[in-house]
Structure 1
């Protein structure tokens, strides 16, 4: 006969010490031994099972309590005992038979005696064929639901329970029934859900620690431990691994409300976490012996392993597909220079990547969207909210209207959001949207309703009494984001930032080149307005003088005018030639070949012979190493450096010019040194600029392009150029040519 439901206080249900109930289920009894082998704690139902008063057993040996023969049968099994119960033997004490389970925990050796109907020992021989047959039934191609259904059938066949459920916990802790085996005595819960509140946090933790639990009869009266606390620690006994551990009265009432008087649960542990449960129910009290429980536990472990394998395979396949799409998207993003336009060109792939119905890119004032998205104003308001309230590398939710109430206005389009900030400073976002997914949940009882007794405080709470099917329709939510999608999105963000950084570096390099070009252009403008204009003015001026003096001046004077005109024209022509040469330095392709630098220097010295004339110039040329470079360009650079040395040693007698070279690990270094007038190092930064002069043109003629050409030629080869000087003591120019030239 079912007991009346007592009033039970649930106000502290989540804090209930279910591991230390201080009692056991009465279909067996407990003897706890000290390290010395004496009985220090017993259950108070000892007299019912053995006919001995509990107090009389304390301080006695196992032989005193059970008899010499029974103790001798058990003692060999007590030497190797761990924290989890193991089967020791089936013993006969008086007229009763017991399966004896032993484990060592909380400083005590715990012996649990479960009453059984059979006389012989537990038979584990059927365990191997059962496990083997179950493994053969499972196929790698089967779904988790089909594998769970087979496990439920096998466990019901082993145990004889009326109903066996296999259910999985979702992210919120609700249990979803995936499979059921039912003989029709109890109602079906297939496809229904049990709210997370049905299983408190500490119960879930215990399911992970101890993976099987049996309740023989929900109407049992618990047998208390004597003494109440562990006599060795003076603390309540931790019965986490005791098979006979008494369970919470809240749960017993829950079972009675559910119409089940016996239950057994097997934990499904996947990747170290509680994935779900195999939950067995019976309308009448039912005891399952240890050997059958062991078989069920093994089946549960096999099912958990196959679930883990199936989920890993599905996860790998999913990630490979998402990664394939990501690679395709990234390839498209590198095609053009405009990031926004590039993103717009791969919108279809972006939707496929996130399994979204719409996407948008927000970069400052620009918004580009594709598919089903909120309007432009709503997008700007959403981005402003994200900028203020989210600070991670990624924000995602499948319940956007719940997190951001204004989204209720467009929840049909965007109940799910995956937001990727592309900048920490600016409002730059890539947004994916998922539409509302209206779905129904069939609950085993309304999880939101209260029992009538709960509406009249301060009456204590009671376990829910209704398990009738209750259907809930869920609005304002999208399909959830898959963990693989989130991880791939983070990788995608890293790749995007890499592309953005590369573009930034390219833009910085371009800006540097543009800055240099602008400076050269400014110098060019100055040269055209000044340097090129000066010889042209001379040509016009002396021509006018020549015309005015025609027929009046001497032949000598006219010849002087013509000479000046010729010099000015020559200077203008050289300036134009040098400008053309400088321009070609940036456009012409390099054609590197091996070069004998000694021959190249000698040819430059020979060309300079006309400029040297009768002056005394001492050339000191060292043993120069060979290089691989463009000979035409390198000859021009060398000629400019040597010509410079000849020009600025014009006041020295003799002029001394030294050319040296040395080969280093990654480059060859050349120096051209002279004993000329030198220059002020404060202005060395201007030395290699176009049309930059550190001396008056009247003192040293030149166009100011030669050293700029030298720098451009050397840098085109991947080298460096520098100069040092002490005024009136000469100058030294250094340039390097790397052993491995850049692609030019």
Structure 2
């Protein structure tokens, strides 16, 4: 049972807003038009009434002309890109940009950005008129230095606040909006502006909080499903889609993934009340969940071309991946720290005849386990107090109340105890937060941790208790958003700092240990702490999510570069074609790097399958594989000693040998005769010691500490290709086996790489 966060003021007034089907409005914004296609002949079954027509015919005549026609007849210009999209086995989720095309004169002059998405058997095709500002938008190669600087800035940022400030600044620069905000949701879906960049034309909202009712649940779900949304002009007239229902389904068209989707009238009124006539939002998703938004506003109507929006989406996704890595790293560090405290407590309990004395005799660790100010161990016979707590009688009464609650998994958590248990308001200064665990399956025995009240002043963007006012003329379902956004201060009392997930988990683990697995858990948690300490050093450099989510953007860059080269190559200058080639090569190289990162991250999760194997046989297999890619003219002399047998995972060990031998071949290619030696030193301290030595370019020992790190390279890419992942893979695999890695070298005189594997039976 977990209770936390501020109340949701005015929620009861907004139930109608929560129910509004904003994805089924059946209208578009007028800066483009839409077609709905169905069947193998791609027949047009629905269309927006603003179909372009140079003959100025009424909308009904234009619709009558196209409805029932195949897209191949009505708009043949769109067919090649559409067929390429439909040929994809698994098209990307959401609307996909297909191409920019110019319609024939008979159908209306002008260029359009074409986007498509699927809804079951339907294909929704959207033509967004190319904004007049598009000519001023920089090309991809011109934007690259800024994108690169953004990525470097993310790595250099020392805090989440700095990351958010960097994102707000770059998005505003790319889009030209008057103001760009980074808006973060809390656990109760209230949002706080944590970063802002602006030109002064609109008021600052930095550090203001907005109630959850400003963005109702179904709107948040649309933000999660459709990352980009733009409203170029809040004064637009919605364009209907006809017929209003799809004939084959009998339901309104779902516009959740639409680029041109009209927005709720309540939201348009909200914008006008805020003093903005144009807006754009980009969703920040962390592990698929809505973390926050980039919210951009302009005092006057403002169109942002698709290229700029895509650039903002790309920046936001990179930001989200870096943010996720930071947050995971912080959580991992906290879990490591709490795990070490818990391991000590388990050891203390194991040493005591009465395990509870292991807690009572070490109060500092008991409090530090969940960062509490006070604690109490309460049984039917006794009430033992640690640190700053309420009076014993108050704790006894609280213990009785907690014992009567239907708590889940034996854990009760709240940061507003006075709201759940009113008598606690009398001792809020000592116990506004409570974390309790049951330590007996038969008796009402608990460990209670307390946190004191933290009085806060919250700055709201307007009075949160009156988020909307019903319209008497329109009935109860017609709502008007609030009109005031002036700072409104609220003092929040009776609340403590919230309990974090790792702290709650630490309390749960302590409960499990007390309930019967003290000694075994002590050994397991000690090993877990050691493993987590090794893994945490790599968390901020990569993660599975980073590797996985970056694949698609690079594939898009390569794909559209190839399309540009094949379809527009004759219109490009020699310099332009060289730029396109450079973009494609860079994206391919980045894609390879992402694949290597993915493999690297997966190694930490794959289980080891150790067997006894012949090292000489493995080295010979790897050597023959590597020689297939060596030019016939190269002279390589191999010296392979007696390597014996090892007890290891053969698949992972093969990766170690492949990386080391490939590096040796690569870094000796400038030698008239390369010498590569693989040997085994005398066993020592229960370890088998292997080495790979070459006579290549070597390295400066001053930088030896960087060799086995992710992305660490001691030579330029122009000299020796590579991604900087190989030796990191070597170290991770060897360490997972319980071994060590190190290297020796000198510039111009070669290098030697050593690794060890623990000796096991059958591995001599």
Structure-1-length-normalised TM-score: 0.62
Instruction: Assess, with a 3 A threshold, how the Cα gap between structure 1 residues 466 and 80 changes in structure 2: closer, same or farther.
Output: farther
Q: Secondary structure at the match of 1:18?
A: coil
Of 9, 12, 19, which residue of structure 2 is paired with 1:15? 19
Distance in 1 of aligned mates of 2:96 and 2:429:
54
Instruction: Work out whether residues 95 and 115 of structure 2, in 8 Å CA contact, stay in contact via their aligned partners in 1.
Output: no
Instruction: Assess, with a 3 A threshold, how the Cα gap between structure 1 residues 13 and 326 changes in structure 2: closer, same or farther.
Output: same
Q: Secondary structure at the match of 1:446?
A: coil
Following superposition, the deviation at residue 338 of structure 1 comes to: 3.6
Instruction: Work out whether residues 91 and 100 of structure 1, in 8 Å CA contact, stay in contact via their aligned partners in 2.
Output: no
Of 251, 254, 258, which residue of structure 1 is paired with 2:270? 254
* Partner of residue 567, structure 1: none
Of 128, 131, 149, which residue of structure 1 is paired with 2:147? 131
Q: Deviations over 1:183-207 (max 9, x none)?
A: 1111111111111111111111111
1:482 correspondence with 2:493: no
Distance in 2 of aligned mates of 1:15 and 1:476:
32
* Partner of residue 99, structure 1: 113
Q: Deviations over 1:451-502 (max 9, x none)?
A: 6767999664311211111111110000000100011111111112226899
Q: Deviations over 1:303-342 (max 9, x none)?
A: 1001100000100111111111112222222333244443
Q: Deviations over 1:388-422 (max 9, x none)?
A: 11433111110000110000110111000111111
Instruction: Assess, with a 3 A threshold, how the Cα gap between structure 1 residues 443 and 455 changes in structure 2: closer, same or farther.
Output: farther
Instruction: Work out whether residues 379 and 445 of structure 2, in 8 Å CA contact, stay in contact via their aligned partners in 1.
Output: yes
* Partner of residue 495, structure 1: 513
Instruction: Work out whether residues 88 and 102 of structure 1, in 8 Å CA contact, stay in contact via their aligned partners in 2.
Output: no
1:59 correspondence with 2:63: no
Instruction: Work out whether residues 369 and 506 of structure 2, in 8 Å CA contact, stay in contact via their aligned partners in 1.
Output: no
Distance in 2 of aligned mates of 1:175 and 1:415:
24
Of 370, 375, 385, which residue of structure 2 is paired with 1:369? 385
* Partner of residue 46, structure 1: 51
Instruction: Work out whether residues 106 and 237 of structure 1, in 8 Å CA contact, stay in contact via their aligned partners in 2.
Output: no
Following superposition, the deviation at residue 172 of structure 1 comes to: 0.5
Distance in 1 of aligned mates of 2:240 and 2:519:
70
Instruction: Assess, with a 3 A threshold, how the Cα gap between structure 1 residues 73 and 498 changes in structure 2: closer, same or farther.
Output: closer
Of 405, 425, 445, which residue of structure 1 is paired with 2:462? 445
Distance in 2 of aligned mates of 1:75 and 1:337:
75
1:299 correspondence with 2:294: no
Distance in 1 of aligned mates of 2:314 and 2:131:
24
Following superposition, the deviation at residue 30 of structure 1 comes to: 1.3
Distance in 1 of aligned mates of 2:473 and 2:239:
34
Of 34, 39, 44, which residue of structure 1 is paired with 2:38? 34
Instruction: Assess, with a 3 A threshold, how the Cα gap between structure 1 residues 255 and 452 changes in structure 2: closer, same or farther.
Output: closer
Q: Secondary structure at the match of 1:355?
A: coil
Distance in 2 of aligned mates of 1:492 and 1:429:
12
Q: Secondary structure at the match of 1:177?
A: strand
Instruction: Assess, with a 3 A threshold, how the Cα gap between structure 1 residues 79 and 394 changes in structure 2: closer, same or farther.
Output: closer
Counterparts of residues 220-235 of structure 1 (less than 5 Å):
220-235=236-251
Q: Secondary structure at the match of 2:180?
A: strand
Unaligned runs of 5+ in 1: 1-8, 503-744
Following superposition, the deviation at residue 449 of structure 1 comes to: 2.7
Instruction: Assess, with a 3 A threshold, how the Cα gap between structure 1 residues 235 and 305 changes in structure 2: closer, same or farther.
Output: same
1:108 correspondence with 2:117: no
Distance in 1 of aligned mates of 2:68 and 2:52:
16
Q: Secondary structure at the match of 1:139?
A: helix
Distance in 1 of aligned mates of 2:163 and 2:422:
42
Q: Deviations over 1:698-728 (max 9, x none)?
A: xxxxxxxxxxxxxxxxxxxxxxxxxxxxxxx
Distance in 2 of aligned mates of 1:37 and 1:461:
40
Distance in 2 of aligned mates of 1:455 and 1:227:
32
Distance in 1 of aligned mates of 2:450 and 2:82:
67
1:355 correspondence with 2:360: no
Distance in 2 of aligned mates of 1:293 and 1:227:
30
Instruction: Work out whether residues 86 and 103 of structure 1, in 8 Å CA contact, stay in contact via their aligned partners in 2.
Output: no
Instruction: Work out whether residues 41 and 227 of structure 1, in 8 Å CA contact, stay in contact via their aligned partners in 2.
Output: yes
Instruction: Work out whether residues 453 and 495 of structure 2, in 8 Å CA contact, stay in contact via their aligned partners in 1.
Output: yes
Instruction: Assess, with a 3 A threshold, how the Cα gap between structure 1 residues 168 and 375 changes in structure 2: closer, same or farther.
Output: same
Of 368, 388, 394, which residue of structure 2 is paired with 1:378? 394
Q: Which has the larger radius of gyration?
A: 1
Instruction: Work out whether residues 284 and 294 of structure 2, in 8 Å CA contact, stay in contact via their aligned partners in 1.
Output: yes
Q: Secondary structure at the match of 2:384?
A: strand
Following superposition, the deviation at residue 49 of structure 1 comes to: 7.4
Instruction: Assess, with a 3 A threshold, how the Cα gap between structure 1 residues 426 and 457 changes in structure 2: closer, same or farther.
Output: farther
Following superposition, the deviation at residue 61 of structure 1 comes to: 4.2
Of 67, 84, 88, which residue of structure 1 is paired with 2:95? 84
Instruction: Assess, with a 3 A threshold, how the Cα gap between structure 1 residues 97 and 375 changes in structure 2: closer, same or farther.
Output: same
**Which protein, 1 or 2, shows the higher relative CO under an 8 Å CA cutoff with sep ≥ 6?**
2
Instruction: Assess, with a 3 A threshold, how the Cα gap between structure 1 residues 190 and 105 changes in structure 2: closer, same or farther.
Output: same
Structure-2-length-normalised TM-score: 0.61
Distance in 2 of aligned mates of 1:206 and 1:50:
38
Instruction: Assess, with a 3 A threshold, how the Cα gap between structure 1 residues 417 and 50 changes in structure 2: closer, same or farther.
Output: farther
1:388 correspondence with 2:404: yes
Q: Secondary structure at the match of 2:240?
A: strand
Instruction: Assess, with a 3 A threshold, how the Cα gap between structure 1 residues 117 and 354 changes in structure 2: closer, same or farther.
Output: closer
Unaligned runs of 5+ in 2: 1-12, 521-764
* Partner of residue 335, structure 2: 319
* Partner of residue 688, structure 1: none
* Partner of residue 423, structure 1: 440
Instruction: Assess, with a 3 A threshold, how the Cα gap between structure 1 residues 369 and 75 changes in structure 2: closer, same or farther.
Output: closer
Following superposition, the deviation at residue 11 of structure 1 comes to: 5.0
Instruction: Work out whether residues 267 and 278 of structure 1, in 8 Å CA contact, stay in contact via their aligned partners in 2.
Output: yes
Q: Secondary structure at the match of 1:498?
A: coil
1:400 correspondence with 2:454: no
Q: Secondary structure at the match of 1:135?
A: helix
Q: Deviations over 1:602-648 (max 9, x none)?
A: xxxxxxxxxxxxxxxxxxxxxxxxxxxxxxxxxxxxxxxxxxxxxxx
1:195 correspondence with 2:211: yes
Distance in 2 of aligned mates of 1:50 and 1:142:
60
